Structure 1
Amino acid sequence: MTVISSTKSTEALSFTLVAEFDADVERVWQIWEDPRQLERWWGPPTWPATFVKHEFTPGGEASYYMTGPEGEKAGGWWRITAIEAPRRLEFDDGFADDDGAPVEAMGTTHATVTLEDLGGRTRMTVLSTFESEEQMGKMIDMGMEDGMKEAAGQIDALLAEHSRA
C-alpha cells in the first residue's frame, strides 16, 4: 500500500497523509503539475475528478468537479499560493457550486504538499489545515480521511504506467 500513515490533530486543526512511491521526486511532481495525470487520482475511485482549469503557477487557480457513482457532481477549487518545483506545493482548497464559485459556508482548507527524495523513491506528505475544529469535523465526517487514502492508493499504478511509456 502506498499510504504509510494518516494522522488527525484537533489541536493543530490538521490532517496529514504520508505516502511513499517507487519513483523519483521529479516523476511524482508530474502527477500534480499535469492536470490529466492529476485527475487520474485526485478523487477516490468512485468519485473521479475532472479538472476544467489548472493554472499551475503561484496565484493560479484550478477548478474541478468529481463525479459520483450515480452521476452526481461535487465541485472544487484551488488557489495556488506557493510552488517550489519539484519539492513543495501549497494551495487553498474548497468546495464550489455548480458555477464554480466557492461555497463560503464550507470554509477553506490549506494544503501543503512536500516531496522528499528517499534515494530514488519519494515520500509525499500532504498536510491539510482547517479554519476551525467545526470545519475539520465536517470534513472528516464527510469521509476526507478515507477518500484521501483511496485517492493516493491510485498513484502507484499511474506512476508505473508512465514509467513504462
Structure 2
Amino acid sequence: MPVTDISTDAENLTMTLTADFAAPVERLWRAFTDPRQLERFWGPPGWPATFTAFDLTVGGRADYHMTSPRGESSRGSWEFTAIDAPSSFEVLDSFVGEDGQPLDGFPSMRMVFSFDATADGSRLTNVTYFTSLEALEQTVAMGAIEGSRMAMDQLDAVLLDLRAYAQGKGTRTELLDDQHVRITRLVEGPRELVWRAHHEPELLQKWLLGPDGWQMVECEVGDTYRYVWQQGEDESTRFGFEGETVLSEPTWRAVTTEKMIGMEGPSTLNDLQLYEEDGATLLTLLIEYPDKETRDMILATGMTDGMEASYARLEAAIA
C-alpha cells in the first residue's frame, strides 16, 4: 500500500498524507492533473469521482462529483491558487451544491499537493489546511482519513499501464474491511464488449459458469435479474442468484443487489466498474457484504477460483 502516513495537527490545523510510489515525479504529476486519470482514484472505492470541468490555470476551477453505489452524490470544486509543474499545485477545496456554490455548514480547505523524487520513485505529500479546529474535527468525523487512504491506495493501478499492472495476476481478491471486498481482473478486449457480456443473456450463458461442468439453465436480465446453474444434467444441484439494478451508467458502471434464491437475510451489493486502456479492460467488482461472517463464508467457497474460470471464458467469448 503506497500511503505511509496520515496525521492531523490540532495546533497547526492541518492534516498531512504521505505516500510513496515506484514512478517518476512527472508520471505522478500527470496522474493528478489529467482528469481522466484522476477520476480513477480520487474517490474512495464505491465513490468514484467524475470531473466535469478541469482548468489547470491559476484562478481556474475543477468541478467534480462522487457517486455512491446507491446513487447518492457528493460534489466538490477546486480553485487553483498556485501551480509549479511538475513539483506542486495548491487549491481551495470546497463542498458545493448542484449550483456549484459552496454549501453552508461545510468547511472549505486549502490543499497543497507536493511531488518529490525519491531513490525508488516519487513521494506525494498532501497537506490540508483548515480554518478552525471545528472544521478539522468535522472533516475527520466524515471519514476523511480512511477515505483518503483508500483513494490513494488505488493509484498504483493508474501509474502503470493496465497490462503491466495486471501481468500474470489473474483474478485478485482484496479485503478492504470487514464488509468490503474488491475483485480485479484484466480482460483482453474493449469495454463495450465486456459490458455487453455482463448484460446480454446469450453472452452471459457462454462464460458465467464457474468451475468446469456447470451450465446456466436460467438467465433473465433487466431491471431485475435471475441466474440459475446446475451441474451437468443433475437438476438436484440447481442453485441461483437474483437481484435488482440499483445504478446503471453504460458502459462503465453497474450496481446490483445479489441474493441466493430461496435464502433469507440481506443481499450483497455488487458495484461493477470497467476501465479501458489500449484495447484491454480493467474489471473492478466491489462487493459489500452485510457482515464479516457472511464475507468469510462466501470467500471460503472458493469464489475467487470460480470467478477466474469464468473470466477466462469471458475473454474467449469476446475474442
Normalization by structure 1: what TM-score? 0.96
1:127 maps onto 2:127 in alignment: yes
1:161 deviates by: 2.2
Counterpart position of 2:63: 63
1:102 partner letter:
P
Which aligned pairs between 1:1-165 and structure 2 lie closer than 5 A? 1-119=1-119, 121-161=121-161, 164=164
SS of equivalent residue, structure 1 residue 114 = strand
Distance 2:162 2:110 in 1: 29
1:161 partner letter:
D
Report how many aligned residue pairs link the two structures.
Answer: 165
Deviations 1:94-149 (A, max 9, x none): 10112222114212101001101013500100000111111111100000010100
1:69 deviates by: 1.9
1:71 partner letter:
G
1:148 partner letter:
S
1:88 deviates by: 0.6
Deviations 1:52-78 (A, max 9, x none): 010011111011000012110110011
- Tell me which structure has the larger Cα radius of gyration: 2
SS of equivalent residue, structure 2 residue 161 = helix
Distance 1:106 1:123 in 2: 30
Runs of 4+ in 1 over 6 A off after TM superposition: none
SS of equivalent residue, structure 1 residue 105 = coil
SS of equivalent residue, structure 1 residue 69 = coil
Structure 1 regions of 5+ residues with no counterpart?
Answer: none
1:5 partner letter:
D
Counterpart position of 2:264: none
2:75 partner letter:
G
2:111 partner letter:
A
1:154 partner letter:
Q
Deviations 1:22-49 (A, max 9, x none): 0000000001110000111111011110
2:52 partner letter:
V
